[in-house]
Structure 1
Amino acid sequence: MDSSTAKEKLLLPDSGKEGEEEEQIWKRLWAESKKLWPVALPACLTRISMFGVFIISQVFMGHIGNTEFAALSLVFQILTRFSFGILMGMSSGLETLCGQAYGAKQYQMLGIYLQRSWLVESGFFLLLILPVFIFSAPILKLIGQTEEISEMANIISLWYIPIIFSYVFLYTIQMYLQAQSKNIIITWLSAITLIFHAFCTWILVEKMGLGIAGVMISMNIVSWIPIVGQLIFIFYGGCPETWTGFSMHAFSDLWPVFKLSLSSGVMLCLELWYSSILILFTGNTKNAEVTIDALSICLNINGLEMMLSFGFLAAASVRVSNELGRGNAKAAKFAIKVVLVTSMLVEAVLWVSVLVFRYKVSYIFSSSVEVAKEFSDLSIMLTFILILNSIQPVLSGVAVGAGWQTKVAYINIICYYCIGLPLGLLLYYVANLNLKGIWMGMIGGILIQTLVLLYYVYKTDWDNQVNY
């Protein structure tokens, strides 16, 4: 036997093994994708529909007037994000509890956790959030917004109170259903809500001429439609294993739920409030209305991508928490890789779209040529944010699934508020880059936070995490 023949024989088994390994990887990838998309797709569609309600409202408000458009933008970007961050962040604590309990087959605990979260979040709403909306005008004036916009925002914020209270139930119920992969009902109700809002707002504003009141009446109605539908689904047999009715056990052991909810709320708040800082500095610009309008369009597009990202965040959280609950560290690690790559591929489409259509997008929201020019100028900064947002929320979802909320909160404080914000202020005041300077510094903070989370996930001993 010559040497070449021997080499061929030696290589053939190895080649076969490589082929088998490659086939095995594709099988695992397909199997994981079948588990991922039933969570990610409904979660993405649901959040896009929810965000679409605000987008529709802003489009109608933008054509009522620039002041009304700016006021609604302030309420949403500052006050609503403040509330959204607290309530959705606290709900992510429920996501950890429900996901791991479902993975461990402790089904009866999911309904108890849901009721405990309602109690904890209702208290936060009454004590912390409600006063902010009632006294929004002096708060906005204090942070540098003009009197005209602040007074208009106060009117809108009072209309917003029932909408914010609905978040107490909306996000907790969604986390509860997502942990069980019962997402279709959420998706259908969200789609119905979006269609109904567009039709209802058109009737109230265009046909009945109710203006601001018409927009806000429609928003109040549609904010409760998905909640009523989901509660009917849960109470009448949609979750027989996990919902056994209201229980007095919900009033016990509230402290652990409170601590995890608070950590989760702080973690997400620090992320959502970070982008709201940009709005705070618009009050000091020469043409505040135009700047707020253009920046709001940027933040709307960023928000749309964040809704996609939050969908993948939910998928990462559910998959990681379920696998950790089952004690399968290897599956948890593989799920992280699949969610991360999938998120980057999907959101690359939005990133390319912004680059291609950046001169035309603003006219959807406003007919102002000045706003269009300002948006085009800011859109380059937006593209950098979109790239990072395809990675960072997924890593946050991994943190939620593993129960690392407190650790990530500290990482966010350091990266965002000790590095990114000071750097932005330096570029704003010293380098005279104005709003772009603040944004550049903040992008730097997000980049550092993303790299830290990537390192943390990479270095984690997932076998030990199973027993944590």
Structure 2
Amino acid sequence: MGLDGDQKWEEVIREIKKQMGLAGPLVLVSFLQYSLQLISIMFIGHLGELQLSGASMALSFAGVTGFSLLLGMGSALETLCGQSYGGKQYEMLGIHMQRAMVVLSLICIPIALLWASIEQILTFLKQDPLISEQAGIYGKWLIPSIIPYGLLQCQLRFLQTQHLTSPLLISTAASSFIHLLVCWVLVFGFGFGIKGAAFSTAITYWVNVIILGLYIKFSPHCQKTWTGFSIHGINNLLTFLALAVPSSLMVCLEFWSYEFLVLMSGLLPNPELETSMLSISLSTSSLVYRIAYGFGSAVSTRVSNELGAGKAMAAKLAVKVVVFLGLIEGIALGVLLISLRNKWGFVYTNEPQVVRYLSSIMPILAISNFMDAIQGVLSGTARGCGWQKIGAWVNLGAYYLVGLPCAITFTFVLHFGGKGLWMGITCGSCLQSILLLLITFTTNWEEQATKAKERMMDTSTSTLPTITTPLLQ
């Protein structure tokens, strides 16, 4: 019994090391990617309040209608590439990535048309004409960033599922530094202003895509998984779409619910104060969520690899370990936020009223971020298993049947103000975490391994010609 106990602890320690080795670089990559928008907004902030308002509105519109959609669809590769890599179907990783690139590139066309009409759409929605005009300018110059952003999501998942995190970290760090320089040169050096800030984002994404593209082509680590462009990469696109659409819904339904909070904050008695508080707290929450997302990406890779290899119990252990790590992370960050509640607001503003209001919100925000830490790692588990459809239904129920109605009730019926918005959405994330926990810990992992094998057979035999039959004949 003692030996078995020691062996189990050794397995747990090995799994913790594997996940920390994956999560560390992925968390940093997530932070660096998030910093691109912050850098652009920082430069725009020096141009004037009107430009800042317009760019912020355009970015919010772009996030809802484009970036979140492409991020979600690209996440389907965490299932497909991860399980194929675990099952040693190495050539299929390149095929899956090509399919994703084709589909996401096609999706970019309607997104571009939508972004070209931002000014007209916002004007139709009775937004301020001057702000709408600036948002329209920023949106049009952001259009060149759509395709490289979509391609980048495919490359990231292709490398992540092979545990190749170092090139991701190096390329993203280099791109972030380049973005800082390019943004400054275009905004102030050439005087392009808000147009330069938007276009610098496209340049940065293309630089990142090119760096990773060269690595994938020439690195010996990708020799088995990338064998060049193939006709199979444009066949059977519906197989990818069948997973990509619910994967996108899973991400978008959650992302959109938080955007509704911003809209509701403008309906409160003191909209300027409420919107400022919500903007700061959402920025804080998004920043903190980078950690949970990194851990979720790590466990997605571990679970998909193990299921693809037919190692059901190893996948189960990976889930248990990441939930434990998520709990520790959620508690630690919650304590940190509460301890900094009286000072954190000064990072964003010098207005005492906003800082005091934010301080009163911080305990609720800490609880919300704790739930995000749990659901973040469980959402990663869902992507690794291929549960995107289940995840989409969970998010629909948690946020739109519970979270947003609770937010409306607490805010406008019980008159809790901005606190009510966070209390309501926290109820949604709490339900989301509970449902995902129940699904995860009642799962038959042997059955999941079987489904992974069936998925790999469906995607490989239907597209790739076999070379064994002629040899046998």
CA drift at 1:205? 4.8
Please state whether the residue corresponding to 1:467 is helix, strand or coil: helix
Give 1:183 shift: 1.2
In structure 2, the partner of 1:33 is 16
Instruction: Report the equivalent of 1:139.
Output: 121
Q: CA deviation at 1:303?
A: 1.2
Please state if 1:155 is matched with 2:155: no
Q: Report the Cα distance in structure 2 between the residues aligned to 1:78 and 1:340, rounded to whole angstroms.
A: 33
More displaced stretch, 80-89 vs 426-435: 426-435
Q: Is contact 2:115-2:140 (8 Å) kept?
A: yes
- Show the counterpart of 2:457: none
**Partner of 2:212 in structure 1?**
230
The one-letter code sitting in structure 2 at the alignment partner of 1:51 is: Y
TM-score, with structure 1 as normaliser: 0.89
2:288 to 281, 305, 311: 305
> Residues of 2 paired with 1:142 and 1:340: CA distance?
45
| Higher deviation after alignment, 209-218 or 441-450 | 209-218
Which residue matches 2:302?
A: 319
Task: Report how far residue 374 of structure 1 moved.
Answer: 4.6
Give distance in 1, aligned partners of 2:118 and 2:350: 28
Task: Identify which range, 189-198 or 67-76, moves more after superposition.
Answer: 67-76
- Whether the 8 Å contact between 1:71 and 1:150 is mirrored in structure 2 is yes
Q: Partner of 1:414 in structure 2?
A: 397
Map 1:14-33 → 2, pairs under 5 A: 17-18=1-2, 20-33=3-16
Q: Which residue of the partner structure matches residue 455 of structure 1?
A: 438
Aligned length: 450
| Structure 2 unpaired stretches of 5+ | 452-473
Distance 1:255-1:203 versus aligned 2 partners, 3 A rule: closer
Query: Which has the higher mean CA deviation after the structures are superposed, 344-353 or 201-210?
Result: 201-210
Return the alpha-carbon distance in structure 2 between the equivalents of residues 45 and 81 of structure 1: 24
- Aligned residues with identical type, % of pairs: 34
Shift of 1:22: 4.0
Q: Which has the larger radius of gyration?
A: 1
Q: What do the CA deviations read for 1:335-393 (whole angstroms, capped 9, x no partner)?
A: 00111222332354433332233343344344555544454344343222211111101
Superposed CA deviations along residues 105-150 of structure 1, whole A, max 9, x for unmatched, are 00011101111011111122212x2233122234345556444433
Of 323, 329, 333, the match for 2:312:
329
Q: CA RMSD in A?
A: 2.3
3-state SS in 2 of match to 1:390: helix
Aligned to 1:242, what secondary structure does the other structure show?
A: coil
2:92 aligns to what? Answer: 109
Which residue of structure 2 aligns with residue 216 of structure 1? 198
Paired with 2:126 and 2:336, the residues of 1 have a C-alpha distance of 34
Q: Report the equivalent of 1:351.
A: 334
Please point out which of 255, 278, 283 is paired with 1:272. 255
In the alignment, the residues of structure 2 paired with residue 244 and residue 281 of structure 1 have an alpha-carbon distance, to the nearest angstrom, of: 50
Query: Are the aligned partners of 1:114 and 1:172 in contact in 2 as well (CA < 8 Å)?
Result: yes
Supply the distance in 1 between the matched residues of 2:270 and 2:136 (Cα, whole angstroms).
21
Comparing 274-283 and 198-207, the one that deviates more = 198-207
Alignment of 1:365-444 (within 5 A): 365-369=348-352, 371-444=354-427
Identify the range of structure 1 (421-430 vs 69-78) with the bigger mean alpha-carbon deviation: 69-78
Which piece of structure 1 moves more, 204-213 or 293-302?
Answer: 204-213
In structure 2, the partner of 1:68 is 51
SS in 2 for 1:358: coil
SS of residue paired to 1:284: coil
Q: Which runs of 4+ in 1 moved over 6 A?
A: none
Report the secondary structure of 1:219's partner residue: helix
Partner Cα distance (2:73, 2:395) in 1: 16
Q: Is contact 2:137-2:195 (8 Å) kept?
A: no
* Contact kept in structure 2, 1:163 and 1:219, CA below 8 Å: yes
Contact 1:66 1:289 in 2 (8 A): no
Secondary structure of the 1:244 match is coil
Instruction: Provide structure 1 residue ranges, at least 5 long, that are not aligned to the other structure.
Output: 1-16
Which range moves more in the overlay, 293-302 or 64-73? 64-73
Alpha-carbon contact 1:133-1:157 (below 8 Å) kept: yes
Match of 2:146 in 1: 164
Deviation at 1:265, TM superposition (A): 0.7
